[in-house]
Each structure stands twice: as structure tokens, then as C-alpha cells.
Amino acid sequence: MLRRLTLFAMVCSSLWEVSAAQGQTLDATLSGCAQCHGPTGISQLSETPHLDRQLAGAIEEAMLAYSEARRQTAVPLHKQVPRELVSGVAAFYSGQKSGVRPAQNVDALKVTQGEAVYNRHCYKCHDDAGRESDNEAPLLAGQNLNYLLKQVMAYKDGSRKQPAMMERASRGVSEEDWIATAHFFAAQDAVGPAIGKKKRRRSGQ
């Protein structure tokens, strides 16, 4: 009996050590990410995306795409996150919902132009001006303007591949219109009402 108990205690303590080590690794990983994405996923660097509030699935998909080289990145750390930590990282950022993102300088004319493009091409997946999602589309409301500009240009010139569904929906969108959508999404409050009058999933009118 005593031996059994000892064994039980040993198993318990080694399990505890494993989970403590994993906890440290997740913390260590997140502190690396915080250098650019901020401690709660709100980035002060305009070319770096905010990760707070983002759908966990969208973060996981981005990390997998980086590690499998389906999506290019200049940040080596993106490819070095151990796979078993990816869901923990995604859950952490997705759960950060109390922070306030810095205000941005958007071009009001482009916001209006972007709204019209959004209402024609984008609203079916990036619902409610980018605050909601269908078809696993990432949330885009209030995302950093310079990050969005880089992504839409990369989609337009093909250096970032669009998901097939989005490619079909965005056929014929000009460079100027892509740029306008970046201003439109950046102008949105991540939580508040949409800019322009909201009409079901579309925005404005």
C-alpha cells in the first residue's frame, strides 16, 4: 500500500512538473510575441496586427500557415512556435477583450469609398463591418491601418494568396478599391456601432 501511494505521489508530481514546464513555455512564448504585439495583443506598431479579440481559429490558421510556409513572414519567431502551444497562444489572444486600441488616422473619403466596396464584395464573410465573421474570416474592425494596407496590396499583387472563396468574391476589385477597404475596416471601432448606419450584415445606406 505504501509503495502504491509512493508511486501515485511520484506520478502526480511528475505530471505537475510537466504541466508547470508547459505553462512556463507558453508564458515564455507569449513574452516573445509581446515585444511586437503588446502584452495583451494590442500593438503600438501600425504594421503589426492587433491580436486581441481575434477569433482563435484565425490565429491558429495564421500560425500554421507560417510554419508550413503557406504564408510568408519576415518574423522568424512566427515559425518557431511549437505546435502544441499554438492553441494556447490563440486562446490567450482571443480572450483579451478589455483593452482599447489606439486611434488611427484614416482618410474619410476612402472610408466612404471602402464602405461601398465592402457592401458589394466583403460583407458576407467579414460581417458587421468586420466585427463578426462567417466562413472563418478573421475579424477586421479596428485593425491597424498599415497592416491592412500591406495585406490588401499583397492580395492584389498575389504575394499573399486569398482563400478561394474570397478570391471569387473580390474579382474585379481595383487597387484603389482594395486600399479603400483597408481605411474602411481601420476606421471601425472594434466593439462599438459601425461607421455609417448599419443595415443587417451590410454597412451603411
CA distance 13 to 157: 54
Nearer to ligand HEC, 89 or 106 (CB): 89
- Least separation, in Å, of the C-beta of 193 and ligand HEC? 20
- Least separation, in Å, of the C-beta of 88 and ligand HEC? 10
CA distance 126 to 128: 7
Would you say 31 and 91 are in contact if contact means Cβ atoms under 8 Å apart?
Answer: no
- Least separation, in Å, of the C-beta of 86 and ligand HEC? 8
Nearer to ligand HEC, 160 or 198 (CB): 160
Nearer to ligand HEC, 17 or 167 (CB): 167
Number of other CB atoms surrounding residue 73 within 10 Å: 13
CA distance 17 to 167: 47
Nearer to ligand HEC, 13 or 80 (CB): 80
Q: Single out the residue of 51, 63, 52, 54 nearest to residue 87, CA to CA.
A: 63
The rounded Cα 140 to chain-centroid distance in angstroms is 8
Chain residues that interact with ligand HEC, rule: CB under 6 A: 29, 32-33, 35-37, 47-49, 51, 59, 61-63, 73-75, 77-78, 81, 89, 117, 121-122, 124-126, 135-138, 140, 147-148, 151-152, 163, 165-166, 169-170, 173, 181
